[in-house]
Amino acid sequence: MADQQTQKRGMTLRSALTTIGVLVGIVASLIAIFTWLGTLSPQETVAEPGPSATPAPVAPEPAIDAVTEPLASVAPPAILASFRFIPGITGSSMGRDKTVDGGLPVYEMWAGKLSISYTWAGVMSDNTQAEGTWCSMRIDIAGPVTIPAHTDNECSPDPVSAFSSIGHRLELTVAGEYTLTATDMITGATGSTTITVQPGPANGS
């Protein structure tokens, strides 16, 4: 009886040892397989290029004809162009006005003397009258006698005030032709007139 139990225990122990040996072999095999797999280089995944996309054709924009607008004509600024003289005899002056309509001024002395006044008016290129004191005027009077030049900054002196000014008055005692010339020294614009002085009666009658 004791011998049988001993045999059964021996068989059970051998069976257990066999099973353990099998399991150890399996584990060793798995370790070897994983170790071998770890030594392999991982394969790189290379993306295959896909078909190249062809850009869709772009329709050209319709050409726009350039419309050239004509430049508006701009009138140039008016500039000082010339001068006109305004001579005359005031009520207190000596002499007589003998001017014929449309002709050059003609004056007759009174008792051997003539006193006349004069002024000028600047004329712009657009035919308007120049106004203001921005001119640099020189008035030259050429004739049988020497008369000093007169300077002024008025482009168009008022006739009323000019005729009452001694600076705008000529006292003549010699008959002949006198040319009055107005020149703006800044722009060079100029204008002139000629007056004729006649002797007249000696006694002023």
**In whole angstroms, how far apart are CA 55 and each of 58, 59, 124, 156?**
9, 12, 69, 78
| Burial zone of 172 (CB within 10 Å; 0-12 exposed, 13-18 middle, 19+ buried) | buried
**At a CB cut-off of 8 Å and minimum separation 6, what does 137 contact?**
120, 151, 152, 153, 154, 155, 182, 183, 184, 185
83 CA to centre of own chain: 32
Helix (H, G, I), strand (E, B) or coil at 190: strand
Pairing relation of β-strands 106-108 and 190-198? parallel
pLDDT in tens, 9-41: 656 666 666 666 666 667 666 676 667 666 655
Please indicate, yes or no, whether the overall pTM of this predicted structure exceeds 0.95. Answer: no
List, for residues 64-86, the tens digit of each pLDDT value. Answer: 555 556 555 666 788 999 999 99
